[in-house]
Amino acid sequence: MENIAAITFDVGGTLIEPWPSVGHAYGEVAARHGVEVEPEEITARFVEAWRQRGDFEYTKAGWAALVDATFAGLTTTLPSQSFFDELYYDFGTPKPWRIFDDVLPTIAALREHGTRLAVISNWDDRLCPLLESLELASAFEVILVSAEVGYTKPAPEIFQAAAVALQLSPAQILHVGDSENEDHHGAQAVGFQSRWLCRDSAEPIGHSISSLTDLL
């Protein structure tokens, strides 16, 4: 990593994660509506629905379809017709989210070092208020959200928009995220430097890091 003037971060899986799991958060709301499913089963179903999602639109309708797919066959009334609105609201609040332990110390150290920080995230219009409520927003000079930019990673346009907003050349920016395709390859394709965050990897792969503290 050379001549880094700014670091851009992905959000989900990089800065924050559902806690204790997607299944717990979904299950808690579903149970209030008479749908009792083990959190582990919901998580497994969500992971499979996410894997098969295709070109996902980060909109309320897009999330409703994904949640319906997650609960398919488990309830006679689809979540989009019952508890989805409640679920959608909850995920716009800090309640179901946890900030990874390495985030705040890393951000503090980078800012002290004078590194400019920004966010590039595939998300909907709940992200900026969520980062505000998690007291993370003030750390970032620029927050680019796919639903607002009109392009989702790995599209080059969203990375280029970050370079323009920061008034830096792509080569001066390092992007960090947990998706090999959306983050690592997407950033590299436009000339950003990149580190692929693999938190659960026992063996580091080229250009990967296992913790954000590896950036220091």
What confidence score (pLDDT) does residue 201 get? 79
Q: What is the pLDDT of residues 152-169, one digit of tens each?
A: 999 999 999 999 999 999
> Residue 1: pLDDT band by 50, 70, 90 thresholds?
low
Mean pLDDT value across residues 91-111:
98
Structure tokens at 10: 């992905």
What confidence score (pLDDT) does residue 164 get? 98
Parallel/antiparallel/unpaired status of strands 142-145 and 16-18: unpaired
* 172/95 Cα distance (integer angstroms): 36
Q: What is the pLDDT of residues 26-85, one digit of tens each?
A: 999 999 999 999 999 999 999 999 999 988 999 999 999 999 999 999 999 999 999 999
Mean pLDDT value across residues 133-143:
98
Q: What is the pLDDT of residues 167-177, one digit of tens each?
A: 999 999 999 99
